[in-house]
Amino acid sequence: MVNAESKSAAFSTPTTPRFDRSALRLDAAREVERLSSALRSAVVDDLHRRGAVIGISGGIDSSVVLALAARALGPQRVLGVMLPEDESSPESAELASLLAGQLGIQTLTENISAALAGAGCYQRRDEAIRRVVPEFGPNWKSKITLPGSLLDDDTLNVFYLTAVSPAGEEIRRRIPPAEFFQIMAASNFKQRTRMAMLYYHAELHNYAVIGTANKNEHELGFFVKHGDGGVDVALIEHLFKSQVYQLARELNIPEEIQSRPPTSDTYSAGSTQEEFFFRLPFETLDTIWYGLEHHISAETIGMALNLTADQVERVMRDIQKKKKTTEYLRRAPIGFGRLAAN
């Protein structure tokens, strides 16, 4: 049996403290082989499962995980599940199907719209939206975003609601806390319903659920607890987003997927991960984060990226704050041990 500490080490990439623009460069071929071997061992030897289930969205992370699973277990022992709902982009299913076909992996589609409607996902969310934008109604779209780039603006991470009318008119307003929490709580039904469906298929086939979260999402809290965070194997949790793209090139992921802007596929108006949460291009964010982890000065990082030390420090503070304020999401359930005998 592999303990939790050794399992984590199996997927962690050893790094040598250094800093320049190539600091995040991987030996992609070696990493692909290492992760394929580690995944095979985790699924078969540790979890005693027959194969893997992966939720696929046509995004870069799920695509890389799908390709790694096919290498590790063989395509015949991998199931790709598409989980659209009424507000999903049709492009997600198209790109996911493209890659699965290229890999020879079986796929199926589970539309979760009825389950979301039954749980009141859309109704509860829209109630909160209308308290902020009373005009919001049928056929309107919405999204949540943060202020502009961290490099240009030292504003706090205050969320804004953008509502888009059927005619294309945009209304953007700051979201009060109560409405923000209700919109997020209702929207998170989507990720939790998707994970419940993945576990149905995992239990049906005696498969393991393989997660698709990268380091940026896991450590900065861009995931839903007991939703996309509730998996059996966290295969790429140690990789910066920019490193996931390196593996994508090594794995010959279709260019249409590699060039697609990362989205959460949560909001009907469409929202990139950068505008919703990260506030920076991933290459810049990841390089600064690497420097922070390896105690590189803000001045040195700034010189390498053509940024000021103040800009770099602003990003560092944002990273540290997000890690601290989302720590709850990464915590295991609190237990209290065996009750003392009377």
Task: Name the one residue in this structure whose structure tokens are 């303990």.
Answer: 3
- CATH code for position 61: 3.40.50.620
Question: What's phi and psi for 60, nearest 5 deg?
Answer: -65, -40
Helices and strands: H and E segment counts in the chain: 16, 8
**pLDDT on residue 152:** 75
CA distance 89 to 270: 8
Please tell me the predicted confidence (pLDDT) of residue 66. 98
Q: Other CB atoms closer than 10 Å to residue 102's CB: what's the count? A: 15
- Is position 34 within any domain? yes
The answer as to whether 323 is a domain residue is no
Question: What radius of gyration, in Å, describes the C-alpha atoms of the chain?
Answer: 21
Is residue 37 in a domain?
yes
Whether residues 100 and 222 share a domain: the answer is: yes
What is the per-residue pLDDT for 84? 95
pLDDT computed for residue 4 by the predictor? 46
Split the chain (342 residues) into runs of 10 and give each run's mean pLDDT: 50 55 91 98 98 96 98 98 93 95 98 97 97 95 80 73 93 94 96 97 98 94 91 97 97 95 75 63 91 94 92 91 93 82 56
The two three-digit tokens of residue 322, written as one number: 């997000």
Say if residue 174 is in the same domain as residue 197: no
pLDDT of res. 11:
61
Domain boundary among 266, 297, 312: 266
Find the domain containing 126 and state its range: 120-186
Four-CA torsion 6, 9, 10, 13, nearest 10 degrees: -170
* Rounded CA separation 116/261 (Å): 26
Given the structure tokens 């800093």, which residue do they identify? 19
- If one counts the domains in the chain, the total is 2
49 and 111 belong to one structural domain:
yes
d(CA 126, CA 174) in angstroms, rounded, equals: 16
Please tell me whether residues 92 and 207 are part of one structural domain. yes
pTM: 0.89
pLDDT of residue 147: 72
The residue from 248, 266, 284 where one domain ends is 266
Domain final residue pick, 266, 295, 327: 266
List strands edge to edge, sheet with 78-82. 106-109, 78-82, 51-55, 207-211, 233-234
| Same domain for 92 and 33 | yes
Tokens coding 304: 């390498």
Whether 148 maps to a domain, the answer reads: yes
In angstroms, rounded to a whole number, what is the distance separating the alpha carbons of residues 89 and 143?
14
**Residues 130, 77 within the same domain:** no
Residue 290 lies in a domain: no
Kindly state whether residues 65 and 129 are assigned to the same domain: no
The residue ranges of DSSP E strands in the chain, in sequence order, are 51-55, 78-82, 106-109, 141-145, 160-164, 170-174, 207-211, 233-234
Q: What is the predicted pLDDT for the residue at 156?
A: 64
| Whether residues 89 and 124 fall in one domain | no
CA distance 284 to 287: 5
* Same domain flag for 262 and 145: no
Work out whether the CA dihedral 32, 52, 329, 334 comes out positive or negative: negative
Task: Say whether both 107 and 213 belong to one domain.
Answer: yes
Q: Are residues 150 and 207 in the same domain?
A: no
Pick from 201, 216, 189: which is nearest to 326 by CA? 216
What does the pLDDT read at residue 234? 97
User: What is the per-residue pLDDT for 324?
Assistant: 95
Asked, for residue 149, whether it belongs to a domain, the answer is: yes
Strand partners, 82: 109
The verdict on residue 310 lying in a domain is no
From the list 225, 316, 278, 240, the residue with the least C-alpha distance to 60 is 240
**Does residue 71 share a domain with residue 52?**
yes
Question: 137-151 burial, b if ≥16 CB within 10 A, otherwise e?
Answer: eeebbbbbbbbebbb
